[in-house]
Amino acid sequence: MSSSQRFVADHVAGLPKSGIRDFFAIVSQMKDAISLGIGEPDFVTPWHIREAAIYALEKGKTSYTDNKGLITLRREISKYVERFFHVNYNPDNEVLVSVGVSEALDIALRAILNPGDKVIYHEPCYVSYSPSITLCHATAIPVATSAEDDFAIDPDKLIAAWEPGVKAILLNFPTNPTGGVTERSKLERIAKFAKEKDIVVLADEIYAELTFDGEHVSIASFPGMKERTIFLHGFSKAFAMTGFRIGYACSTPELVEAMMKVHQYAMMCAPILSQEAAIEALRNGEEAVLDMKDKYQQRRDFICRRFNEIGLKCHVPAATFYAFPSIRDTGLTSMEFCQRVLQAEKVAVVPGTAFGPSGEGFFRASFSNSYDQLMRATDAIERFVDTLVKEPVAK
Amino acid sequence: MNPVLKLILDGEPLTTAQMGKVLDMSREQIDAELEKLRAEGILLGWRPILNPDYSGPDEVRAVIEVKISPEREGGFDRIAERISKFDRVESCYLMSGAYDLLVVIKAQNLQRVASFVFEKLATVAGVNSTATHFMLRAYKEQGHYIARPEEVDAKPAVSP
């Protein structure tokens, strides 16, 4: 083999390319497309938060920080998590500030997994879960969630997926891309199971603040669960701070120390300007979060109703800014549907399969967008679906 | 809050037909809701929000701080109402602090503002003093940021 491909590690070479990246390549070729494919808020970070970062820069805050993050920020995180998630973490040794939740998840997995360990996660899910597990030389065991359950996890299915060697369960509720949440009683069963089998739970709750229906429940808050949970959270979604790349992990002193080892060698610390902005977000950002949430909720109601009118069955997501309608009745695969609606009507939505094989038959549409765009996009999708009805797909 | 009102306050310009689509109501229902808001005195009217730099070459805006003596019967209200009735007055507020009324006016030029202050405002019985400030430049108008536009087009069209 002459190409430098031979230098690439086997487990990296074996990773599939992100389906999102494939689709992005197609969308980026097309001018004037309306995109409902964006996995981030359409709002710019609230000005008072940006201004705090500028002020920090003016004051010359350009250094490294403590590996764990600024103690002021960790104290604010501790207070916030206690208030919102009802779990108490000591800012001195139970909180670690990371470069987004992505890094927090990566160091959490690397801190706990030995080669050959297994991790149960639910699917459709965020694109990085399975690859991040594979990169730890561990095995990812998916459990499918379904539209019939509004994409909540079925504890029976999770328990049935268990096999010897399972070290961790990775939960992401509310879920990107489905907007699914899981009710307290089901989470309690999972917590009980985790204790029985002595399993670590990784809880990525990045969309928690964007819960519209009911109250968000963190599995970390259940009795006896703090000791075996790594709670992952960040600022990207609720505070519209994606580009700041700032998140955190909270857990026991032992697990935080283990994550710290990986973090300090790989990353050193999160950028100080983002940390300063995050302090401002936690101190004064709540009003802006509630305002954005309110706007997402109105848009959710609109887009879900439209998809159902069009004939694309769409459950109403209890949280997040994603709708996940079904295209099964069209007879097309997710990728075919998304490519054809893009070609025919210049509307970009993300094929469900980008979020795992169980996303087949669905697409993800972000309603983090203006009404004008949402109306034009749904009208266009309606025209496209109407043409399918007139010319049924040959099977 | 009334959903129609909430949608209007959201600030996105929508036709009544579009509002109907968003709220799953007919156009007639939206019109009826708007009429109701008008009848209840909640919705006072519709006006475009213009960039003050383009609102007319011969136009100046001024804010005037007015100190008045409250009356035994009627307090500040009667004088404030009287001032508010002048067509030139765009807005009039009772304020806490160093002065009593904040009056926003618009006129074709400085002289017209001056003559309004001297001839009309200062001569209203009960007005003790005025302090006029001319607006030089607008940076934000009724929630619309109008200084240098922000560049936010770095977002990828599709992201996880």
Domain boundary assignment for chain B: 3-39, 52-136
The rounded mean pLDDT for chain A is: 95
pLDDT per residue as tens digits for the range A10-61: 999 999 887 777 778 888 888 889 999 988 898 999 999 999 999 999 999 9
Give the pLDDT score at B160: 83
* DSSP states along B64-82: EEEEEPPBTTTBTHHHHHH
Write out chain B residues lying below 8 Å of A377, CB-based. none
Tell me, what's the ipTM? 0.71
pLDDT per residue as tens digits for the range B2-50: 899 999 988 888 999 999 999 999 999 999 999 999 999 999 998 888 8
Q: How far is CA A195 from the centre of its chain?
A: 25
- Is A348's Cβ below 8 Å from some Cβ in B? yes
Q: Which helix (H) or strand (E) holds A171?
A: strand A166-171
pLDDT at B93 over 80: yes
- Is A371's Cβ below 8 Å from some Cβ in B? yes
Cβ–Cβ < 8 Å for A97, A244:
no
Cβ–Cβ < 8 Å for A77, A282:
yes
Give the pLDDT score at A378: 97
Cα separation of A348 and B155, whole Å?
A: 14
Q: Which of A17, A29, A34, A38 to mutate to test the interface with B (most CBs of B within 10 A)?
A: A38
The rounded mean pLDDT for chain B is: 90
Pull the structure tokens for residue A255: 């697990």
pLDDT at B79 over 50: yes
Write out chain B residues lying below 8 Å of A41, CB-based. none
What would the CATH number be for the domain defined by B52-136? 3.30.70.920
pLDDT per residue as tens digits for the range A194-212: 999 999 999 999 999 999 9
Kindly report the number of other CB atoms within 10 A of residue A200's CB atom.
23
- Where does the pLDDT of residue A395 fall: very low under 50, low under 70, confident under 90, or very high at 90 and above? very low
Q: Do A371 and B6 touch (CB under 8 A)?
A: no
Cβ–Cβ < 8 Å for A270, A99:
yes
- Where does the pLDDT of residue A393 fall: very low under 50, low under 70, confident under 90, or very high at 90 and above? low
Pull the structure tokens for residue B3: 């959903």
Chain B's closest residue to A376, CA to CA, is B18
pLDDT at B149 over 80: no
pLDDT per residue as tens digits for the range A253-305: 999 999 999 999 999 999 999 999 999 999 999 999 999 999 999 999 999 99
- Where does the pLDDT of residue A1 fall: very low under 50, low under 70, confident under 90, or very high at 90 and above? low
pLDDT at B134 over 70: yes
Virtual torsion, Cα A44, A371, A233, A151, nearest 10 deg: -160
Q: Do A298 and B7 touch (CB under 8 A)?
A: yes
- Is A316's Cβ below 8 Å from some Cβ in B? no
Structural domains in chain A plus CATH codes = 4-45+287-384 (3.90.1150.10), 47-285 (3.40.640.10)
Q: If interface means Cβ-Cβ distance under 8 Å, which residues of chain B face chain A? A: 6-7, 10, 12, 14, 18, 21-24, 150, 152, 155-160
Give the pLDDT score at A2: 66
pLDDT at A131 over 90: yes
Q: Which of B18, B21, B24, B158 to mutate to test the interface with A (most CBs of A within 10 A)?
A: B158
